Each structure stands twice: as C-alpha cells, then as structure tokens.
Amino acid sequence: MAIPASSPVPGATQLEVCLRQVRLEADGIVSYELVAANGETLPAFSAGAHIDLHLPGGMVRSYSLVNDPAETHRYVVAVHRVPDGRGGSAWMHGVPRVGDYLRISAPKNDFPLAEDAPMSILIAGGIGITPLLAMARRLSALGRPWRLHYSARSPRHAAFLDELQELVLQGGELDLRFNSTGVPRLDLARLVEDAPANAHLYCCGPRPMIEDFLAASKARPQATVHHERFAAGSEAATAGGFDVVLQHSGQRLHVPPGKTILDTLLDNDIPAQYSCSAGICGTCRTGVIAGEPDHRDDYLTDEEKRENRSIMICCSGSRSKTLVLDL
C-alpha cells in the first residue's frame, strides 16, 4: 500500500522514497530506513543534516539523518514517540509499514560539523543522539578525535548503544549517563570549562540541557559552540490581535487570538513554506517590510532579530498593530 503524501510545499524539491526497514532501537524510539523509490542513489548529505517527511494532513516533520554520510543508497531516521506531541510521531509509530512510499525533502544542514576541528565534544540527551551519531561516524572515518557524552533515562531508553560501542573501538570516547543507575548527572558547566580551547562543542537534547549548555558556553568563541533544539526556547506567539499585510498582493489579514501568522495564511489558502512549525529550522523565514516582529524563534541570531528584517512566521508574532511581509 502506498502512503498518501501531503500536499507539496511550494518551491520545495521532494523525493519519493520507499520504506525498506522499520526497527525498534529503544523504548519509544523506532528507526526507519528509506531508499529511493526509483532505485537510484539519493542526494549526498553531511553529518548533522536532516530531511523533512511530508505526511498526510499537511504535516511536515524534520528528522536528523543518523546513518553514515558516506552512504548514498539510503537514509535512516529515528523517531521518538511523543505522547503529547502534534501527531507526527504518533503517525510514524502507528501507520507506515515496510514497502510503503513517502515523500521527503532533499537533505538540509543547519547543524554542520567542523570536520577540521582538532577535538570534537558531542553532548546528547535522549533522541538528541541522532545528529550526533552521524557526526561520530564521520569523525571516525576522518580519524579525528571525538568524545560523546550521552544522557538518557535508562539503558533501554538509549538508542544505538551497540553502534556507538563499535565506533568507540575506532578511537572515539563514550560517556554514558543513565538516570536509572544513579550515575551523577552530567555537569555541563564543568565539561565546557574543561574542554580544550580549540575544541568544537555540539549539543542536541531537551530544552533544559540546551539552556544549560548555552549558559556554560558564553565565554567560549561562538564559532566553536553548536546546538540544535527539538523545539524553540520560547512559546509560539498566539495572542493575535494584529494585521498582516502581504506586500505583493496588498491583501490584509487579521491574526486572531489562538493563531500564528502561519495558521492565518494557511486558513486563507495562501501557500507558505514551512517545516518544523517550532522556529528552529528556518524554512518559513519571511522578509519584513514594515512593523515590529515579536521574535519567538531559535533560528535567527540576536543581531538579525534586532534588525527586524526577517521573521519566522510559524511561531513569531507582531508587537505592532500591522506587520507588512514580503509575501
């Protein structure tokens, strides 16, 4: 049975893939191996990259590629079942079967690996292991030193442990922290303080871990500090009560309470590119012609937010009564 794909995102390149394998990796975590439906090679990707899965009902979800970046015959993603999520993980865990077809985006990388770093320190929390596993694979292939600190609720909640142990045999270092075993929690402040000055640090995990990591890394050269979130650090702006004007058509739309700018555009059948719906991927970045955005994303830099030339319409709102967008 072919899985019905969601409507294409305007201007986005999509690929048709076949689901070749589904495997339980840990409690609540399942991996999916995808191959090109036409049997050809897939676009190359780099460590830290992700793909967007286009699911029924207009859902688009981003998942990190966990397999070896040298592979072009398959993509592997892992999905954590989120009980109170927005439906994507529940659908992935309950519906697709081997042999089904999906539509995906070509790989994109907002969390790139500095391959020439003299030392790479990787910090993962739970499902945050996914991009860091690809990084560990790549660093091992390059013969570059790396150390991974991996925290999870328990060993049975930690995915890819066997693969990580194999990579350690190739020269990496692995520090496992499981809450169930009574091992002290990872001291991020000490870890960052003790890191070599020329090391590159990477963190992917739940919000508290990211916040602690960023706080601990403030004094380091920011070019050596990298992170990727599951969700934005702030709640989406849904207070509404302002108007959005589309510069190209002159159309004016009122954003009501409980809705985001993106919700309002889609409700009015206005096509807009989006992916994560959480302000972390950059897909929905839109130019601002006039007005003052209420930035709620974790994609734009602080300087870009001060300039007010762009907004992430999936989660940000407006501090002014009217916001004119480059749409």
Residue 86's pLDDT is 58
State the pLDDT at residue 62. 86
Sheet containing 29-36, strands listed edge to edge, beginning at the edge strand earlier in sequence:
60-64, 50-54, 101-105, 14-26, 29-36, 75-80
Looking at residue 232, its pLDDT comes to 59
**Residue extents of the structural domains in the chain:** 14-105, 120-229, 242-325
The whole-number pLDDT of residue 11 equals 45
List the strands of the sheet with 146-152, edge to edge. 173-178, 146-152, 120-125, 200-205, 225-229
For 242-325, which CATH superfamily applies?
Beta-grasp domain (3.10.20.30)
Residue 92 phi, psi dihedral angles, 5° rounding: -65, -35
DSSP string, 215-264: HHTTTS-GGGEEEEESS-SS-------EEEEETTT--EEEE-TT--HHHH
CATH code linked to domain 120-229: 3.40.50.80
- Cβ atoms 315, 300 nearer than 8 A: no
pLDDT at 164: 96
Alpha-carbon distance 185 to 165, whole Å? 21
DSSP string, 120-140: EEEEEEGGGHHHHHHHHHHHH
- The partner residues of 190 in beta bridges, in order of sequence, read none
**Mean pLDDT, the chain cut into blocks of 10 residues (327 residues total):** 36 84 96 96 96 82 94 96 73 93 93 96 96 97 96 94 94 92 88 96 92 94 90 76 95 94 92 77 90 90 90 94 95
Give me the pLDDT at residue 234, please: 66
In angstroms, rounded to a whole number, what is the distance separating the alpha carbons of residues 259 and 313? 11
CATH architecture of 14-105: Beta Barrel (2.40)
- Residue 100 has a pLDDT of 96
Strand, coil or helix: what is 78?
A: strand
- Per-residue confidence (pLDDT) for residue 10, from 0 to 100: 44
Neighbours of 231 (CB within 10 A): 18
